[in-house]
Amino acid sequence: MSAQVPVAAYLILAAVLFSIGVAAFLIKRNLITIFMSIELMLNAVNLTFVAFAHMWHQVSGQIFVFFVMVVAAAEAAVGLAIIIAIFRTRETLNVDSIDLMKS
Partner 1 sequence: MQLALFIIFGALAVAGALNLLLQRHPINSALSLVVVMMSLAVLYWSLGAEFLAAAQVIVYSGAIMVFFVFVIMLLNAGEEERTKGSRAAYIVGFPGAAAIFCLLSFVFLSERHAFRSSNVGGYLNNITSNISEISSVLFTKLLLPFEVTSVLILVAILGAVVLARKEQ
In SS3 terms, 45-81 reads as HHHHHHHHHHHHCCCHHHHHHHHHHHHHHHHHHHHHH
7/101 with CB nearer partner 1: 7
3/101 with CB nearer partner 1: 3
Q: Is residue 21 within 8 Å of 41, Cβ to Cβ? A: yes
**Cβ 22 to partner 1, closest distance in Å?**
4
Distance (Å) of CA 87 to CA 21, 64, 74, 78: 24, 34, 20, 14
Q: By rule CB under 8 A, what string of x and - marks binding of each residue 3-42 to partner 1?
A: xxxxxxxxxxx-xxxxxxxxxx-xxxxx-xx-xxx-xx--
Q: Is residue 11 within 8 Å of 51, Cβ to Cβ? A: yes
**Cβ 92 to partner 1, closest distance in Å?**
10
Q: Interface residues for partner 1 in 37-96 (CB under 8 A)?
A: 37, 39-40, 43, 46-47, 50-51, 53-55, 59-60, 62-63, 65-67, 69-78, 80-85, 87-88, 93-96
